[in-house]
Amino acid sequence: MSDHYSRGAAGTTPLLVLSKITAILDAFTLTQPVMTSSEIHRRTGIPESTVRRLVANMTDVGFLDHTPDGVQIGAQMASWAVHTKRSRDILSAVRPVLAELRDVPHETVSFVREERGLRVCLAVAETRHSLRREMYVGKLLPLEGASGRIIADYSRDHLEDSVAPSQTTAGPTIGATGASADEHPTGYAITIDEIGIAEIAAPVFGSTADLLGVISISGPRLRMSLHQCHHWSDLLVHRAEHLTRTMGGTLPVRTAPQHPPAIGTGTGTGTASRLS
């Protein structure tokens, strides 16, 4: 009789029902992908009445699927596995680019994507300056700033209404710009908010030109003036486009974002200085 379902990770006490569910899922193998409740009972040692109850519940929520000969791992589980692998592939490509970018402006560089109307940070290379904007993996942020503008421009879910309006201190804030349509078809965005946080962002795309996420450089305005943001824009956009191609992505056919400036005094287009 297996006691697999009663064991947890070192130093933890797992919920018993979750341990049993895990044991049932672990019981399936490449050589035995379909099993009956009796076979699961024999393989796991879980009482057969409990197996039948859990199998019924797991089938209801898509963890398992019925077949003529028993049950098998559900398609829903396979779908989650695909999403997990894709996310890991994306992050393995993104992390070294963030570290490389961080060491040019010496400011925080992050990779975010939209989740349920918010920005979620998936990867970050923090600045080494003591004065910094707090950013960490898993941080949730409103759809605002330069990365919020990029998400609004390129999202197929039409999230424009979720984007918080940009604010400004003295001087203009650029809502969205591009070096030129020929040089950078994806464009970039720059914002400086009312508390003096500057951000420049550029999109990364998937195989069908869907938005995978946004790379951004952010920091205090005293170190990231509007002029300096434009100076870094060429490097940022090229790195974003490189990531798109590395992950088999496709750049969208359309030119840079065409929405109005983020604030009244901003301009809709700008010229980025090329970095050698």
Q: Is residue 168 part of a domain?
A: yes
Q: Are residues 231 and 198 in the same domain?
A: yes
Residue type, 41: H
Q: Is residue 260 part of a domain?
A: no
Q: Are residues 104 and 239 in the same domain?
A: yes
The reported pLDDT for the residue numbered 8 is 47
Q: Is residue 261 part of a domain?
A: no
The reported pLDDT for the residue numbered 110 is 94
The reported pLDDT for the residue numbered 27 is 92
Supply the CATH number for residue 230's domain. 3.30.450.40
Residue 222 CB coordination number (10 Å): 9
Q: Are residues 67 and 128 in the same domain?
A: no
The reported pLDDT for the residue numbered 85 is 60
Q: Is residue 265 part of a domain?
A: no
The reported pLDDT for the residue numbered 183 is 36
The reported pLDDT for the residue numbered 166 is 42
pLDDT values of the chain reduced to their tens digit, one per residue, 276 residues: 444 444 444 445 557 888 999 999 999 988 899 999 999 999 999 999 999 999 999 999 989 999 999 999 988 787 676 666 666 677 788 888 999 889 888 999 999 989 888 899 999 998 888 877 788 888 888 888 999 989 988 775 444 444 444 433 222 333 333 333 333 445 899 998 877 889 999 999 988 888 989 999 999 988 999 988 999 999 999 999 988 888 888 887 754 444 433 332 233 333 232 222
The reported pLDDT for the residue numbered 23 is 93
Q: Are residues 17 and 145 in the same domain?
A: no
Q: Are residues 51 and 69 in the same domain?
A: yes
Q: Are residues 53 and 146 in the same domain?
A: no
Q: Is residue 152 part of a domain?
A: yes
DSSP for 165-201 reads PP--SSS---SSB-S-TTT-TT-BEEEE-TTSEEEEE
Q: Are residues 94 and 126 in the same domain?
A: yes
Q: Is residue 272 part of a domain?
A: no
Based on the structure, what is the number of domains in the chain?
Answer: 2
Q: What is the pTM of this model?
A: 0.57
Bridge partners, 189 (sequence order): 201
Q: Are residues 98 and 200 in the same domain?
A: yes
User: Which domain does 27 fall in, by range?
Assistant: 4-73
The set of residues, in sequence order, having a beta carbon less than 8 Å from that of 46 and lying 6+ positions away, is: 5, 20, 23, 24, 40, 54
